[in-house]
Copies of this chain bind each other. A is one copy, B any other.
């Protein structure tokens, strides 16, 4: 099998990741042979939206694709591997936290194709800037997957399963937990009938400056200054949100601790 000759792709799973992959591949020379979805409703949606053949039946999956991309929920991967026949073709999953070995029984040609991004339905993305993390069971399969990734993105990196898992944990902090901070801010403002939009320039600048130095050097605010006057006032206000208060104090404690460590090390 000539891996570098990948042309035809089957995408299994049409959730957020799968849908964004479809849209990205439509901009390339690659041909999406078929999309396999969980329900007949979403298969119809795919065919209507993109004019791509789609099915919800594993048995109807086309057997001659050069690459099968599995963008299904993590916990569904073992089941997909057991139920589907990939005819020894190249198979890759798109998960950050599942090791490559889950695909051992799927095919002797397998790997991982993990786009590191938060995918939101109906919000277009510039795929070119998204890092695509590649792992494969042979150098040839690695080159093949990296070639496909390079058609979508300017940032193709090779990471093994351990590195990818660590990256995924870091991403949970930098994305999911960050969004939860936004959520808390939104709830606090809502309680006071203040619009969340007021925070958008601050949110944008905070993210923007992350590219301009180590985050520890860019910290600002009352915790960094260990400003107990302000921290006490905030605690008093947060009495009405016990969960947020606990979180406020734990994060504040961590920032104060890191500030003290830096001061000890003469970095401040």
Write the residues of chain A forming the contact surface with B, with a CB cutoff of 8 angstroms: 16, 73-75, 97, 116-120, 123, 125, 129-131, 155, 157, 159, 163, 165-167, 169-186, 188-189, 191-192, 194, 196-212, 214-216, 218-225, 227, 229-230, 233-234, 237-238, 243-244, 246-248, 250-251, 254-255, 257-258
Contacts and interface: CB of A to CB of B under 8 A. Distances in A.
Instruction: Summarize A's interface: helix, strand, loop or mixed.
Output: helix
B174 A185 contact: yes
A194 B210 CA distance: 16
B215 A186 contact: yes
A69 B201 CA distance: 22
Contacts of A258: 183
A177 B162 CA distance: 27
Given A165-B237, A194-B163, A207-B206, A171 B183 contact: no
B218 A179 contact: yes
Contact of A167 (B120, B169, B173, B194): B194
A17 to B, nearest CB: 10
Contact of A185 (B173, B203, B222): B173
Contact of A172 (B73, B166, B216, B234): B234
Contacts of A75: 227, 229
A29 to B, nearest CB: 23
Nearest to A186: B215
A189 B175 contact: no
B173 A220 contact: no
A188 to B, nearest CB: 5
A215 B182 contact: yes
Contacts of A163: 192, 194
26 contacts: A97-B230, A116-B198, A116-B201, A116-B202, A118-B202, A131-B198, A165-B237, A166-B189, A169-B234, A170-B188, A170-B199, A172-B221, A174-B185, A174-B203, A175-B221, A178-B182, A179-B215, A180-B254, A182-B215, A185-B215, A186-B214, A186-B215, A200-B210, A200-B211, A243-B254, A250-B250
A24 to B, nearest CB: 14
A244 B116 CA distance: 22
A131 B173 CA distance: 27
A199 B166 CA distance: 12
Given A97-B230, A174-B181, A219-B180, A204 B201 contact: no
A223 to B, nearest CB: 6
B185 A230 contact: no
